[in-house]
Amino acid sequence: MSISVNTMRAIDHWAGVPLCALLSPLVALIDGVKNIFSRPVEVPRKLLFIELSEMGSAILVDPAMRNAQARGAEIFFLIFKSNRASLTLLNTVKPENIFTIDSSSLGGLIKDTLRFLVVARKHRIDTVIDLELFSRFTALLTGLSGARRRVGYHIFHGEGLWRGFMLTRKVHYNPHIHITKNFLSLIHAAFAKDIEVPFSKIHIPDSEVKLEQAVIDPAALNKVREQIEGLATNAGINYKYGKQRLILVNPNASDLLPQRRWAQQRFSELIQRLNQRYPDDLILITGSPSELDYVEKVRAIANVKNALNFAGQVTFAQLPPLYTLADVMVTNDSGPGHFSAVTPLRTVVLFGPETPALYGSVGKSIAITANLACSPCVSAANHRKTPCHDNVCMQAISVEQVLEKMALQLSDADQAKAR
């Protein structure tokens, strides 16, 4: 049985706080001994990033990883096993440098955690960057990794979210700049010659916040295209790539924050409106294999012939080809909004509990948010957990609003493809 998100949060709090308190003096003692008997790390050479739970963040941290590579560091990454595939979209990290922890069971979590502590020393990791926003578990992994230089976010004079003294370079998390810039500030702290309190006293220009584009294998592109055309033919739909538009609708969001979901009924109504405006175009309703029933409900309520249930029809590795073939995608604030940013796909992303100012896609994206007084209601300060059970912020987004933005994106796609 897999560990639920709430269970992991509870473990992180009730076990993480006392463990941080108990192990902080030990980590400080080991640091003191190392400082006496060995030379300090002059510049990061083997740099490990830790980001366990957010697949989208594995994309958003890519500019920071490439920045570190450009400075001469070899890159390593630690991530939950279930999220490993997100690192393959751009292949910035060599496969053999990706370490994983199995979070599907408590036994697997403990076993892989202990294994990581051995592997980190075996690879002589000298610098660790904790990308998580105040997770005690990743703080402990960072502190016990054996690395001399350990970088992450520190609460300083803020209340709560105490993580002990696992870091040697403490960075101020800025909730007013995009998360990609926050990640870049960690790189500055890792490579800085002098200690700053707090890190990082630099300006990060918008030009630094750009993603590399995925390299698409033509054979993989053709395979996905043929699959889509075959499904359309079997459903009695006359679709040929290049002649009609391909529209993606991604209606679900992860269980990490279910308040991010726009209502199924709204997505069904949007599909109906899209079909009315673009009757010849194909609509694929996407999702993971586990979301098949959720997607089918959206499709059944819409009852549009040109809208197909596409959940589970492609692998994670086939997402870049799918997004390259498509003209526009609408999605809740979730992984696909970030994964698509490594392709030319234009997107419309719906935000509620979180804000696009911090977590917006850095691709060709239009964000829609209701800007209620209560939102964003999740942040680093509350472990991205909200008491809200009535997501009015999502309900306030109308079908007409979304349709208007999708029409803009489709118009731009038409111009780009000279259609």
pLDDT at residue 268 greater than cutoff 70: yes
| Beta pairing, strands 74-80 & 98-101 | parallel
Query: What proportions of the chain, in percent to the nearest 5, are helix, strand and coil?
Result: 45, 15, 40
Q: Are residues 239 and 204 in the same domain?
A: no
Q: Are residues 187 and 230 in the same domain?
A: no
Closest Cα partner for 117 from 78, 89, 152?
78
Closest Cα partner for 316 from 196, 195, 207, 224?
224
Q: Which CATH number belongs to the domain containing residue 14 in this structure?
A: 3.40.50.2000
Q: Are residues 194 and 222 in the same domain?
A: no
Q: What is the mean pLDDT of the chain?
A: 94
Reported as a single tens digit per residue, the pLDDT across 316-355 is 999 999 999 999 999 999 999 999 999 999 999 999 999 9
Contacts of residue 294, defined as CB under 8 A and 6 or more positions apart, other chains included, come to 251, 252, 264, 287, 311
Q: Which of 208, 235, 254 is the last residue of a domain?
A: 208
Reported as a single tens digit per residue, the pLDDT across 287-306 is 999 999 999 999 999 999 99
Reported as a single tens digit per residue, the pLDDT across 114-136 is 999 999 999 999 999 999 998 99
- Residue 78 within a domain: yes
| Dihedral sign for Cα atoms in the order 121, 152, 166, 88 | negative
**CB-side exposure of 309: number of CA atoms within 13 Å?**
17
Quote the CA–CA distance of 170 and 188 in Å, as a whole number: 11
Give the global pTM. 0.94
Domain residues for the domain of 398 are 218-416
Query: Residue 188: its pLDDT value, please?
Result: 98
Written as six digits, the tokens of 358 are 């911090």
Q: Are residues 274 and 230 in the same domain?
A: yes
- Residue 105 within a domain: yes
Q: Are residues 26 and 101 in the same domain?
A: yes
Q: Are residues 91 and 161 in the same domain?
A: yes
Q: Are residues 284 and 196 in the same domain?
A: no
**216: helix, coil or strand?**
coil
Contacts of residue 18, defined as CB under 8 A and 6 or more positions apart, other chains included, come to none
Query: Residue 2: its pLDDT value, please?
Result: 63
Task: Count up the domains in the chain and report the number.
Answer: 2
Reported as a single tens digit per residue, the pLDDT across 102-117 is 999 989 999 999 999 9
Q: Which of 177, 208, 239 is the last residue of a domain?
A: 208
Q: Which of 208, 237, 257 is the last residue of a domain?
A: 208
- Residue 213 within a domain: no
Written as six digits, the tokens of 228 are 């889509």
Query: Residue 8: its pLDDT value, please?
Result: 83
Q: Are residues 267 and 407 in the same domain?
A: yes
Written as six digits, the tokens of 346 are 């234009």
Lowest mean pLDDT among 56-65, 89-98, 295-304, 377-386: 377-386
Q: Are residues 323 and 183 in the same domain?
A: no
The mean pLDDT of 15-34, rounded to a whole number, is 94
